[in-house]
Structure 1
Amino acid sequence: MPSDRRRFLCRSMLLAAGLASPVATLAALPSLAPLRRALPGGRETLPVIGMGTADTFNVGTEPGERAPLAEVMALLLQTPGPVIDTAPSYGSAEAVTGDLLLDANARARVFLATKISASAANAPAQWAQSLRDLRIENVDLLQVHNLIDWRDNLRFIRQLKERGKTRYTGITHYREDAHEALAQIVRSERVDFVQLNYSVAERNAERALLPLCQERGVAVLVNRPFQDGRLFRAVKDRPLPPWAGEIDCDSWGQLFLKFIVSHPAVTAAIPATSKPRNMRDNLGAGLGRMPDARQRERIAALLA
């Protein structure tokens, strides 16, 4: 069977059944296996679609609040080793993440990232509380949140790495005006990850920061892939362009995410959601054909 025809039939099967149940069949469908990217050193890969927890996981303990998040988590866990990114400054998100991972017996099945978002003097106490909230003894990635006291906090994170409390170090920010500061750190320091904002409508990272990370072998996580919903508002009531099918996109969200993860410097995007149907849609962006340079510009032109 021609590859395009096979891809079409397999994709139709997934869409008909919903992404939740067919994911287990992906091993038998190589053409639909989620795209993965190598981490520094090439010993490990991550799926290009992970999950953030800002706002969405800041909930209480009522079953009605937790149930949709448990379903979101279950969908994410159907792909081996996805990134879950959280932070102590996200309200109850660390504690909720920890509870859901414990309930699913899934700590070993995710790439867990959190942050130091306190002053250097308060960083040890904050880290200890993160461990309690997440119900863990170590994380995969520990990041300096929004460059807060970054020199001292990066030094503290490196000490934790030496003690086996984290496997990777990182720095983060969510605004374009911080990109030059992030780039300066990448040039002068050794970090394993940079987390930054990047989307079809916020492309400043393409100028210098993404190429620099690629040159230095630094992994990249992308936050705010939908600009906190602004991208969806910009295309409200607009039909998906017919050519979106050329890159196996069934929604605007998938088109926006594929624009991001098709950049060769990007390791994973981490969209946040509390809705299972949105999680299914996000995961679909890691499947099928990815846009080439011409198609990426075609996507960008839709928001120009």
Structure 2
Amino acid sequence: MHYRTLGKTGIEISEIGFGAWAIGGDAWGPVEDTSSIRAMERALELGVNFIDTADVYGDGHSETLVARVLRGRRDRVVVATKGGLMGHHRDPRREPVYDRPEKVVHAFEESLRRLETDYIDVYFDHIWWNDQRETDAFLTAFARLKQEGRVRAVGVSTDDPAYVEAFDRDGTLDVVQLDYSLLNRRAEDRVLPYCQERGIGVVVRGPLRMGLLTGKFTSDSTFPEGDVRHGWPREAWYREQLEKTERLRPLTSAERSMGQLALRFVLNHPAVSAAIPGGKTAEQVEQNVAASARPLVTDEDLALIEHVTGEAT
């Protein structure tokens, strides 16, 4: 495993982290807690020291599972969690739920309780739209939490360049979490250059395009009820992205699977600190972690990638 510094924070994290959305159990199909625990344990055994979760994943269940693997090793694991969607995901009108710093601090303290810790390494604003009242509330709360020593770094989870800049208006933004992959390269236009210029750490979610870039799905694949991908096979964009994935298959080999190519691609960008693919089993984790030691993306690889995926998707 290779490690990188998370922007200007000085925090060292594994370039492959563990994304803990799926283990919440409410969005990615069936998952057993015992399998989730074993997946995280295996990740730590293989050198992963960075786990990313959120209060909204399984309505807090993901955080409680993360807490179980932190016991006895809290000082050796960099933990990121997110707040801001709890309440919003039940109210599609997007009325300001976090319009005061006290509400943000309360959500933070609830995450502390579930994670069984007294500090968070990286705490993200999980609201990706730019509502002035909520942005102000988070910035005020984050400054307070950092001053109190309960947060080491703060960030925002968004793909919106305007929101990144709004959140960084005082130059206090430490980390951005964004969607970036071989099949979604929009971040290359503005957000990644902005972060690189200002020393802001970048954590990539969706590096496997929610499983598409593992190369295991076809037009005949189906997803169970309760899986966020359930309706994908009916969508034209799904078939288009499957076709692009197949066109990238010549870049794979016995030494580098499709998923590992996808992870190496996002790690190739100089602004990126880490990728956080999800994993529900130890076997999935082993495949993801192995990407750290797989062949780097070459100029020849990039030429084909540009030919297949050059237009932002």
Find the aligned partners of 1:79 and 1:197 in 2 and give their Cα distance. Answer: 25
| Counterpart for residue 295 of structure 2 | 289
The 5 Å alignment of 1:181-260 reads 181-186=163-168, 188-231=170-213, 232=215, 233=217, 234=242, 238=246, 241=249, 243-245=251-253, 248-249=255-256, 251-260=257-266
The total of aligned residue pairs comes to 260
Identity over aligned residues, as a percent? 29
Contact 1:81–1:109, Cα closer than 8 Å, also in 2 = no
Q: Does 1:85 align with 2:85?
A: no
What is the CA–CA distance in structure 1 between the aligned matches of 2:143 and 2:303, rounded to whole Å?
A: 39
The answer for unaligned runs of 5 or more in structure 2 is: 87-97, 218-241
Structure 2 SS opposite 1:289: coil
Contact kept in structure 2, 1:143 and 1:157, CA below 8 Å:
no
Report the counterpart of residue 166 of structure 1 in structure 2. 151
1:107 aligned residue? 74
Q: CA deviation at 1:228?
A: 1.9
Alignment of 1:1-304 (within 5 A): 34-41=1-8, 43-58=10-25, 65-80=32-47, 82-91=49-58, 92-102=61-71, 105-117=72-84, 119-121=98-100, 122-147=103-128, 149-173=134-158, 176=159, 178-186=160-168, 188-231=170-213, 232=215, 233=217, 234=242, 238=246, 241=249, 243-245=251-253, 248-249=255-256, 251-302=257-308
Report the residue type matching 1:219 in the other structure.
G
Cα deviation per residue 1:253-273 (whole Å; 9 max; x = unaligned)? 101111111111000011111
TM-score (norm. length: structure 1): 0.77
**1:282 positional shift:** 0.5
1:145–1:298 Cα change, 3 Å? same
CA–CA separation in structure 2 for the residues paired with 1:235 and 1:276: 29
Counterpart residue number, 1:16: none
CA contact (8 A) 1:85 1:113 kept: yes
CA distance in 2, matches of 1:224, 1:237: 15
Q: Which of the pair has the greater relative contact order for Cα pairs under 8 Å at 6+ separation? A: 2
Shift of 1:52: 1.1
Q: AA paired with 1:76?
A: A
Cα distance between partner residues in 1 of 2:110 and 2:206: 26
Q: Give the drift of 1:155.
A: 1.6
Q: Cα 1:116–1:81, aligned 2, differ >3 Å: closer, same or farther?
A: same
**Counterparts of 1:202 and 1:264 in 2: how far apart (Å)?**
17
Q: Which amino acid in 2 is paired with 1:99?
A: R
Shift of residue 57, structure 1, vs aligned partner: 3.1
Residue 51 of structure 1, CA deviation: 1.2
Structure 2 Cα separation of the partners of residues 271 and 166 of structure 1: 24
Distance 1:205 1:236 in 2: 19
Q: Which residue of 1 aligns with 2:222?
A: none
TM-score where L is the length of structure 2: 0.74
Q: Distance in 1 between matches of 2:33 and 2:80?
A: 21
**Does structure 1 retain, via aligned residues, the 8 Å contact 2:7–2:202?**
no
The CA deviation at 1:100 is 2.8
TM-superposed CA distance for 1:55, in Å, is 2.9
Q: What amino acid is the match of 1:272?
A: G
RMSD: 2.6
Query: Shift of the alpha carbon at 1:217?
Result: 0.4
Gaps of 5+ in 1: 1-33
